Structure 1
Amino acid sequence: MKKHFGWLGISLTAVIFTLSSCKKAFEDKPLELFTIDYIFDENDPTGAQAFWWVGNIYGKIPTGYNRMLGSSSWAFNNSPRTNTSLVPLECFSDDAVPSGDGNEGWNVIRGGYSPVAPFDDNWGNSYSAIRAANIYLNNYQRIPWADSSRKIWLTNEARALRAYFYYELIRRYGGVPLVGDKVYEPNDPELLNLKRNSFEECVNYIVSELDIAKDSLRPDVPLSGRTTDADFGRMRKSIVLAIKAKVLLLAASPLFNPSSTPDKPYTGYPSYSAERWKVAADAAKAVMDLGIYDLEPNRYTLVLQRANKEHIFFRMSDPRNDNGYAYYMSPPGYKPANRNSEGRVSPTQEFVDAFPMKNGKTITDPSSGYNPSNPYAGRDPRLEQTVFYNGAKWLQRPIETFEGGKDKPNDATLAPVQTQTGYYAKKFCANDSSSANYSTTFVRDGGFIPPWSIIRYADILLMYAEAKNEYSAPDASVYAAVEKIRQRAGLLPYSLPLGLSKDQMRDVVRNERRIELAFEEQRFWDIRRWKIAKAVYGTTLHGVTITKNANGTFNYSPKNVTTPYFTDAMYLLPIAIKETQVNQGLEQNPWY
């Protein structure tokens, strides 16, 4: 049998993933000639290669915007993957589906995932990053550091990154093997029998590592200095505290903090604890109390400026010299510069209906003013910022997603990929309603560099509101956190009704997370950690069929789009069979 050690990355070159900013450091030496002595050079007091080594660990952080499925076995007819296979993670939630009929994602939606065909398989990626961090932590003292601050900062960056990659693992799989500081060799027999630690042990380890690192990192940078800081985006105390809040919120959530004992738990938490909600709320509040982040008044600033008040933790992508994302997502009837737009993502009617009216009332409230014959009028401004819908203005003309319209012509020669739901995803596009061409975004040094925001301040506010509400019911601080986001969104009035119960506030917070953080890879994980995915995703998802009348008005009729396959097993992802076949001590998740 062929042995797979990929998940612990035995090759040095396996953990060197070149970033655009790191190429010059290595391009004069073939990768296969790298050695520990070269990376941790005892004659280089600057530690230049070690600096790039840590930089390359950042490159392992998963990016968003578009996701590649985790297993090549999903490819149709064994054909190579194409760009149309790339869709955001929300396409595997109740928020959206892929627009293309032939997109690989439909196999996941209709058939789920298994150890043979895993989905979003991050096991090998995370453990190779953890191993790279361990190599650094085992060797950095060989360097005669001239700058003691750099030595301290890099060491704690590696520690914080290692903790973050364990978080990437536990939110997918539950408890996983903790390898400590050990760097395994390929012939180590322990590799064949590594057992999973409990979820609780993993959380405690991650939190302890983050606590060790938080006060020994580069100082946080005020907003005025972020645009000129060459190391902006590397680990700082605020980032570490934000990650800690994420970890503790996950640990407090129903999936891992159940109020009743599940049939086959692999959580490591035997019973419910309200204290976990308090610890999560305190962790989010610690970020708020730093006083260095705030909401950007204009949400488009998050698209147009990399360094802003709101971004806390993000992954920098490689430089680009085009505005490709707008082409990927815009409706297919738009062809600026004679290049076809692709409209890859179709938001669901359930997602569109989650946006309230501008007066803050839900569309089901009889007093909200919602008109089903004119369903997009008077809505929360975030709807227009997030979804391409019929009649909205884009590139100087109204969007036409009615049957036979420019953006749903029902003619494959005009638009081979068309909306499944009557909508296209707009999030992360610039405000180009009046422009002739798509704008570039996240401009830095004249290039197109879109960072993937992992945690921003709006998320912290909603994390605090959720955890505080679950622990002690809605108080003034919960109201303030939620209303701050609603105010920025442009709701009038933005205030919530007084006297909401814990259950009512829970619904408010969950819906705010859905619409405020849309397409930021929150909904996929949220409906799983809340353990509601079977109810909201494992059911029929809808769209709308729009017909245009002779007088220019429209009829809107609901339509069934798909019923995703979802079982209790799928709240956790399966460990790929290549891992469990080699490591006999590695217990598979329940029901797989």
Structure 2
Amino acid sequence: MKKITSKILSISLLTATLFMASSCVEDLLEQEPTTELGAAVFWRTEADATFALQGAYSSIRPLFDRDYYLDGHGEYVRTRGTSATNGNLRLGDAYQGANYNPVGYGASFDKMYRYLYGGVNRANYVIENTNRLLATANPSSVANLEAIVGEARLLRGMVYFRLISMWGDVPYISKVINDNSEVSDITRIPMAQVKDSIMADFTYAFEKLPVKGSAVGRAGKPAALAFRGKLQLYWASWNKNGWPELDTFTPSASEANTAYAGAAADFKAVIEDYGLALFRGGEPGPIDEIGKADILPNYYYLFTPVANGDPEMIMVFTHGGPGTNQGEELMRDVSGRSHEGSQCWVSPRYEIADRYQSTVTGDFVEPLIPMNPTTAGARTMPRSAVNPQSYADRDYRMKSSIMWDFERSIGMIALQSTGWVPFIYRTWNQPVTINGERLTSYNTDGTNSGYVFRKFLRNYAGQGRSEGNYNYPVMRLADVYLMYAEATNEISGPQADAIALVNKIRHRGNLPALAADKVAGKQAFFDAIEQERIIELLAEGHRGFDLRRWRAIERVWGAPYSDGVWRIDTHGANQQRYYQNTDERVYQQAYIFRIPPGERDRNPNLTQNTPWL
């Protein structure tokens, strides 16, 4: 085999899964695999295969570990920009330069498309060469080598799953590409065929992987099974709801039913067969009073390094933290300058607050009333959006996820704590006195809603804004619970076991069980499941994909040529209006992404998705 060129092995290995290729992907065809060493020299032992697999993890990690940006495609998160570094895959280049508004985003993910194919080629490199080792391996090494192939096939399946979820029909490459000429005339493959290949990858991974990964960040059987279930759930959704923008796809009700059943079976096995449990037993934990943060609910800690290695995290991508050059930048993206000079690229929208239900009734409360704080009584009026007491007795995940006026967090500068910083919308870095305590307010102008995230924000100093060591989840048990409930509901309506699982998730927010009217029929239970997906998975990158597979964009933003929908702030000011007087083509372009024109210029055999012609 010819010499392979890449930079993976020129970078020191930091931990079992933490090292990163650093190369610029110029087009789909620059897909350089894992090592600078010739295969005949390198590929000799099981350790070589393991080392190459680590390179694949490190190259595919930055295709998923900033998915929180993608929540900007929904209605509850604003992504005004990113901290990604142009030209540096490890630092987020796959996400850099894209549009994260709820409309007009479909033409801006050319980089992601190309980097995803780079990830495919890195996985293929491991699969191809490890299979060569298997041909002559000692019997004692066969199981471990097959598990390595399984992990690489799981990664490849995840990448192709992302590709078809965004672009529909895509080219399918199952071998290492050493020269652009090998794929210069490649064509798009019908999504159904690609789906079957992904299913085969996930099934092989499930059969060959150990029950538990050999290290944190290494996949086990539950991950493969969960992703296989998710693929079937999406396939069922597309077949039930249609995907008219993909003109090669014909939906089938019988395909949908079969896929829902397959998804339910896989999710049920994940839930029942591996002893998995929600973080801290799914208990809500204690909570501090309004305006205090010494005691935070368990859900908050699920999104800090405390949860690294927890069984709820079925599959994660690991990060090295300080001194490794492998840190995550979650704090930089979700918090403000008070927190190591962070930039608040991602923030909650005003409208999320009314989605948090009452811990007393278990249902929605009367909507908040936006008010200018200078208005007499605004800070004390019931239901006022600027009255902190309006947020009392809500789902514990609210305090864990967002901060409103006078909620506080630990400020951090130069790796040292600066003490409590209260968030007060539009009051940046100002001296304030609260109950006789002199403080300096949270410093950010990055939010335009009246809220900032607490979710993903560390509550201790000592790490820079780009030195996080949180293991970013791409599959959580809570998501599996909700996907199982969705699949079974589509088949048979509300089922007792699915209702119980949704109630387990609600319990972590200290909410009562679902009332009878919430499980009275298929639509009512679907609404309850969607509600939990909105709250439980907030800012984890799921909402845009859900809206597209459910064909729900019009339900959220109004029909074509309608008035559109404003996003406002806690003071009552209009901020952005989306889908105002928007024609059908713009909606169509929100449901399917554009095949990169640069790829089509290089290869005229690549067709374009119809809304982009």
What is the TM-score of this pair, normalised by structure 2? Answer: 0.74
Letter in 2 for 1:590: T
Q: Which of 587, 601, 604 in structure 2 is aligned with 1:581? A: 601
Give the structure 2 partner of residue 128 of structure 1.
121
Which whole-Å CA distance do the structure 2 matches of 1:240 and 1:66 have between them? 18
How far apart are residue 33 of structure 1 and its match? 4.5
How far did residue 114 of structure 1 move?
5.5
Cross-structure match for 1:37: 40
Which residue does the alignment assign to 1:487?
A: 507
- Number of the residue aligned with 2:451: 423
1:568 equivalent in alignment to 2:588:
yes
Aligned partners of 1:325 and 1:429 also within 8 Å: yes
1:330 aligns to what?
Answer: 335
- Alpha carbons 1:474, 1:502 under 8 Å: kept: yes
Could you say what secondary structure the match of 1:277 adopts? helix
Structure 1 match to 2:160: 166
- Report the equivalent of 1:552: none
Distance 1:300 1:157 in 2: 30
Change (3 A) 1:389 1:500: same
The equivalent residue for 1:248 is 232
AA of the residue aligned to 1:486: R
Secondary structure of 2:60 counterpart: coil
> CA 1:423 to 1:148, structure 2 compared with 1: closer, same or farther past 3 Å?
same
Counterparts of 1:142-291 in structure 2, within 5 Å, are 144-145=137-138, 147-180=141-174, 182-186=175-179, 188=181, 191-220=183-212, 231-253=215-237, 256-259=238-241, 262=244, 264-267=246-249, 269-270=251-252, 273-291=256-274
- Which consecutive unaligned segments of at least 5 residues does structure 1 have? 1-9, 69-86, 222-228, 442-446, 547-556
Confirm or deny that 1:355 pairs with 2:360: no
1:72 counterpart residue number: none
**Cα separation, 2, equivalents of 1:56 and 1:235:** 15
Q: Deviations over 1:131-178 (max 9, x none)?
A: 324433453337655633322222222233222222122112113233
Question: SS state of the match for residue 208, structure 2?
Answer: coil
Q: Provide Cα deviations, 1:220-271, integer angstroms capped at 9, x if missing partner.
A: 27xxxxxxx5x23212111110111111111111xx2144673653435455
Is 2:241–2:551's contact at 8 Å kept on the other side of the alignment?
no
Query: 1:452-509: CA deviations, max 9, x gaps?
Result: 1000110000000111111111121221111010012211x23332552211111110
Letter of the structure 1 residue corresponding to residue 574 of structure 2: K
What's the counterpart of residue 400 of structure 2? 385
Q: CA deviation at 1:15?
A: 8.2
Which whole-Å CA distance do the structure 1 matches of 2:126 and 2:328 have between them? Answer: 34
Give, as a single letter, the amino acid of the residue that structure 2 aligns with 1:90: D
Match of 2:422 in 1: 399
Q: 1:453 aligns to what SS in structure 2?
A: strand
| C-alpha distance in structure 1 between counterparts of 2:242 and 2:150, whole Å | 39
Distance 1:416 1:201, change over 3 A: same
Deviating more after overlay: 52-61 vs 464-473: 52-61
- 2:473 aligns to what SS in structure 1? strand
Which consecutive unaligned segments of at least 5 residues does structure 2 have? 22-33, 85-95, 281-297, 369-380, 411-418, 433-441, 559-563
Letter in 1 for 2:206: K
Structure 1 481/90 Cα, relative in aligned 2: closer, same or farther at 3 Å?
same
| CA spacing shift, 1:511–1:439, aligned 2, 3 Å | farther
Q: 1:97 aligned to 71, 74, 78, which one?
A: 78
Distance in 2, matches of 1:570 and 1:25, equals: 32
Say whether the 8 Å CA contact 1:54–1:136 is kept in structure 2.
Answer: no
Q: CA, structure 1 residues 458+420, in 2 after alignment: closer, same or farther (shift >3 Å)?
A: same
Distance 1:294 1:32, change over 3 A: closer
CA distance in 2, matches of 1:33, 1:462: 44
8 Å CA contact 2:104–2:589 kept in 1: the answer is no
Pair 1:517 & 2:537 matched: yes
CA separation of 1:61 and 1:358: change in aligned 2, threshold 3 A: farther
Amino acid at match of 1:462: L
Q: Indicate the SS of the match to 1:542.
A: strand
Structure 2: how far apart are the matches of 1:464 and 1:417? Answer: 40
More displaced stretch, 195-204 vs 509-518: 195-204
CA RMSD of aligned residues (A): 3.8
Checking the alignment, whether the CA contact within 8 Å between 1:100 and 1:417 is kept in structure 2 is: no
Q: What is aligned with 2:279?
A: 296
Between the two proteins, what is the percent identity of the paired residues? 23
1:543 paired residue number: 568
Code of the aligned partner of 1:267: F
Q: Which amino acid aligns with 1:577?
A: P
8 Å contact 1:403–1:545 — kept in the other structure? Answer: no
